[in-house]
Amino acid sequence: MTRLPFFLAAPLRGVPLALALWLPQSPAAAQSSLTIGGKIDLGVGKPIGSADKQLMDGAGSRLTLRGEEPLGGGWSAAFVLEHRFSPDVGTQTDPVRFWQGQSVLGVRGPYGALMLGRQYTAAYSLAQNVVDPWGGDTVAQLRSAWRGGISRTRVSDSLRYDFTHGGLRLAVSIAEASQEGSNAGPDKPLSAGLNYAHGPWMVAFGMEDPAHPRDRLFNAGVIHRNGEFRWIAGHAWGTTTRDDRFRSLLLAATWARGAGEVKVGWVGGRARKPDGSVRSEHRLMGLGYFHHLSKRTLLYANLAHDAKAKAERRGIDLGLQHNF
């Protein structure tokens, strides 16, 4: 039997009793549900930093299983299993983890959702991925440069709480300290995120303390929708494991008309050493066009240019994506 990490065991000791008091004692009449979904993405192109033209997966192809069972009184049990794979060769993306994307189980109810397992960090899903108009996909994505390589996308052995009320969404996640490769560190990864939508406006904020004593990242963004247009701005700041000071600025806009959408964006980021000299820098420009052939299938073309890349500053891709 797998034991919970010690930092999760104590807070969860009272959960079964609390749920027993909150939930109705009679069995729920509703049936459980299972949904199969995902996406497949393939195209041709080359990323920044590489001269090789190749078949590329621009959006992280995946197979997702979602299940939920009503428990009564507004409560339900839920799980998500997400497998990531490379469609060009048919192999899994992570040679170790089959459910590399997500592997979570928990409960949802009137007071929010509590999920345990391998899952996205709060700052990533509510702020860092929201502000990038490409959502981290294709060669033109701005998310990586905006985050500066400090934060994590997902963590294992984690507990996450989500709460939604009207246009407000907030979440907090914490995980056991990782001992895996570059993610290894003495600290328990802690992340918090929120976004609030009201009318044409959305604001988002994220905070992340990944694993080491020095690394921290804060993200703030605002999105304004004006008819067919979206105007986006984001700022990030923090420190790296080497105690470098990191700052970045993101500016972007989208124009959706009919079946097509144009995306344009720029991000500038810089990490300075403790002595003030520059360790790394990005000046990335992205331009893309997405054309929906149906509700689930789209074609895309993107160009990217990083003026501070050490080699092969241009990236390009042309692809097809199907969501199911």
The pLDDT of residue 30? 61
Q: Which of 195, 155, 185 is nearest to 173 (CA)?
A: 155
Q: Give residue-wise pLDDT tens across range 251-308.
A: 999 999 999 999 999 999 999 999 999 999 999 999 999 999 999 999 999 999 999 9
Mean pLDDT score of the chain: 90
Q: What residue type is 253 in one-letter code?
A: A
pLDDT value for 177: 77
Residue 58, token pair as written in the block: 């621009």
* Residue 144, pLDDT score: 96
The contacts of residue 285 (CB under 8 Å, 6+ apart) are 265, 266, 304, 305, 306, 307
DSSP string, 114-126: EEEEEEE-HHIII
Q: How far apart are CA 189 and CA 174, in angstroms?
A: 6
Spatial distance between the Cα atoms of 322 and 324, rounded to a whole number of angstroms: 7
* Cα 170–chain centre separation: 14
pLDDT of 212 reads 85
Whole-number pLDDT of residue 184:
62
Whole-angstrom Cα distance, residue 193 to residue 173? 9
Q: What does the CA dihedral 35, 25, 18, 121 come to, rounded to 10 degrees? A: 0
| Cβ atoms of 56 and 43 closer than 8 Å | yes
pTM given for the model: 0.85
Q: For residue 44, what are the CA distances in angstroms to 61, 317, 319? A: 15, 6, 6
Residue 28 parent element (H or E): none
Query: Is 172 within 8 Å of 11 (Cβ atoms)?
Result: no
Task: Report d(CA 47, CA 188) in Å as an integer.
Answer: 33
Inter-residue long-range contacts of 4-8, CB under 8 Å, 24+ positions, other chains counted = 5/157, 5/176, 7/174, 7/176, 7/188, 8/116, 8/157, 8/159, 8/176
Query: What Å distances lie between residue 201 and 130, 196, 233, 299, CA to CA?
Result: 13, 8, 12, 28
Whole-angstrom Cα Rg for the chain: 21
Provide the CA 213 distance to its chain's centre, in angstroms. Answer: 23
In DSSP terms, 171 is beta-bridged to 162, 193
Segments in the chain below pLDDT 70: 1-30, 178-185
Distance separating alpha carbons of residues 7 and 258, to the nearest angstrom: 51
